[in-house]
Amino acid sequence: MIEHILTDKTEVELQTLFAADPTQLSFIAEDFGKVSKDYALLICCVAICHEKSYVREGALYGLARYIKDPDIRAMVEHVAEHDNSTAIREIAAECLEDWEIYDG
């Protein structure tokens, strides 16, 4: 199972592991948000800095489930304000808006 492979990897090793297929990293980042916060952070902290916008998008969707966490929310806020892709900034802003709507 991929969870066992990823738990012992450093950030550099993860970047190397997924460099050949960034599409895979995008889907894994999104899916690992469903596994646990620890797995989401392990993958999404790498993916959120990826050069491909669709990988950053997957990371945002993976992190969105844990947006109530102040550190994760700060990371998404940073993306919403500073990402070089308008689409990614909009997705990050939507994640934050959804949190504010549901958190009341």
21-31 residue pLDDT tens: 677 777 777 77
Domains of the chain: total: 1
Single-letter amino acid code for the residue at 70: P
Residue 61: which domain range? 2-103
Match 């999404």 to its residue by tokens. 44
Contact 20, 50 (CB under 8 A): no
Q: What is the pTM of this model?
A: 0.72
Residues 20, 49, 56: CA angle, nearest 5 degrees? 80
Instruction: Indicate the pLDDT class of residue 4, thresholds 50, 70 and 90.
Output: very low
DSSP string, 3-40: HHHHTT--HHHHHHHHHT-HHHHHHHHHHHTTT-HHHH
Write down the pLDDT at residue 101: 52
Write down the pLDDT at residue 5: 42
Q: What's the rounded mean pLDDT across residues 97-102?
A: 66
